[in-house]
């Protein structure tokens, strides 16, 4: 099928975009999925100046790279999150954080997501990846007792905040791909259905499939692909490894990523528990023809060693489905 292989720049935003583009081109990537932080793609500048958009397009062209999606996970997270606190301040531009009053942060984040859609259209991409945030993730473990009415309220809050944003997506002809992920309203198969129902199956609301977030929940990522085939607008190639030993916990004990005592951790693609052959076959069944975007995260490995290795893995695994039955040649006709 020869799907393009791109590199998500979110974990590389400490590097100037040109520096990263040069590296990605030399490694053999087909393109970049641009993060809306660092200097990689700045929404405000993209709306202010046509020259800014052209300069980004020219930079990618200079290195033979394409862009199929931009991503604004950090701002999207702040649309629905409750509480809003100093953790959010560390991931937001000062103009969106403002005075830090929570509802003001949420409202400014919502407007920034609308502007992200408009900037994506100007840039010529049709998918924006991101998070939604969640007002109920903190209620995951039901004590003190949490009623379904409390959870329903959270999904209604999500719908009221995101439907106006999704309507801008529809107007501009751009898709929103939520990365289904713990801390979001949709973090597994059941909650994904619940999120879809909350926004009345909005046509511009779909998913950025990332198997690493299912592995440590003991969910087979293939089932997600099969269930939501028509709603998969983008794919991240990322891996995670369960490393329970009878002493540690799948909840990870408030330990940092990279700590060997964790019950699970993100690792470079091919070094975890994701079954890439099965995933590629499922994506072929779903007729997914978009990019395979490597989101490289492995605290125990140098990223400039790991990214090319991950690229080689994807090139090796991404096969085209057969157009004929293998036993057709047995026929005497």
Residue carrying structure tokens 């309220």: 153
Give me 74's structure tokens.
Answer: 């950090």
Looking at residue 325, what is its pLDDT?
66
Helix/strand/coil for 74: helix
Amino acid 328: pLDDT: 62
The pLDDT of residue 2: 81
Q: How many CB atoms lie within 10 A of CB 215?
A: 22
| Predicted local confidence at residue 322, as pLDDT | 76
H or E segment at 236? Answer: strand 232-237
- Positive or negative torsion for Cα 300, 236, 131, 303: positive
Helix ranges (DSSP H) in the chain: 17-27, 43-48, 50-62, 73-80, 86-89, 94-97, 102-123, 148-172, 189-198, 212-215, 221-227, 276-285, 303-317
Per-residue model confidence (pLDDT) at position 189: 98
Q: What is the mean pLDDT of each run of 10 residues along the chain (333 residues)?
A: 92 98 98 97 97 98 98 98 97 98 98 98 98 96 95 98 98 98 98 98 98 98 98 98 97 96 97 98 98 97 97 94 68 64
Measured CA to CA, the distance from residue 324 to residue 307 in angstroms comes to 35
Mean pLDDT of the residues in the chain? 96
Global pTM? 0.96
The confidence score (pLDDT) of residue 144 equals 94
**What confidence score (pLDDT) does residue 327 get?**
60
**pLDDT at position 320:** 87
């Amino acid at each position: 099928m020869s799907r393009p292989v791109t590199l998500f720049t979110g974990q590389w935003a400490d590097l100037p975009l040109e520096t990263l583009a040069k590296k990605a081109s030399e490694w053999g990537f087909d393109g970049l999925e641009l993060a809306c932080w660092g200097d990689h793609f700045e929404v405000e500048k993209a709306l202010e100046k046509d020259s800014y958009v052209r300069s980004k397009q020219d930079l990618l062209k200079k290195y033979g790279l394409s862009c199929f999606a931009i991503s604004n996970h950090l701002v999207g997270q702040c649309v629905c999150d409750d509480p809003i606190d100093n953790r959010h301040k560390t991931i937001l531009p000062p103009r969106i954080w403002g005075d830090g009053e929570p509802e003001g942060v949420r409202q400014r984040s919502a407007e920034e997501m609308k502007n992200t859609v408009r900037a994506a259209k100007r840039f010529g991409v049709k998918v924006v990846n991101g998070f939604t945030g969640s007002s109920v993730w903190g209620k995951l473990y039901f004590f003190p007792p949490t009623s379904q009415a409390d959870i329903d309220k959270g999904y209604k809050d999500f719908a009221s905040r995101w439907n106006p944003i999704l309507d801008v997506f529809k107007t501009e002809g751009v898709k929103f791909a939520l990365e289904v992920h713990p801390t979001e309203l949709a973090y597994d198969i059941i909650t994904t259905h619940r999120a879809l129902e909350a926004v009345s199956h909005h046509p511009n609301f779909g998913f950025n499939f990332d198997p690493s977030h299912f592995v440590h929940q003991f969910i087979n990522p293939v089932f997600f692909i099969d269930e939501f085939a028509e709603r998969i607008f983008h794919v991240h190639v990322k891996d995670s490894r369960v490393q329970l030993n009878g002493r540690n916990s799948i909840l990870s004990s408030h330990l940092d990523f990279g700590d060997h005592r964790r019950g699970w951790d993100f690792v470079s693609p091919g070094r975890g528990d994701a079954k890439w052959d099965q995933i590629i076959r499922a994506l072929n069944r779903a007729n997914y023809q978009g990019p395979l975007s490597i989101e490289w995260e492995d605290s125990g490995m140098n990223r400039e060693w790991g990214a090319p290795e991950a690229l080689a893995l994807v090139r090796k695994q991404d096969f085209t489905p057969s157009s004929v039955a293998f036993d057709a040649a047995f026929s005497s006709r």
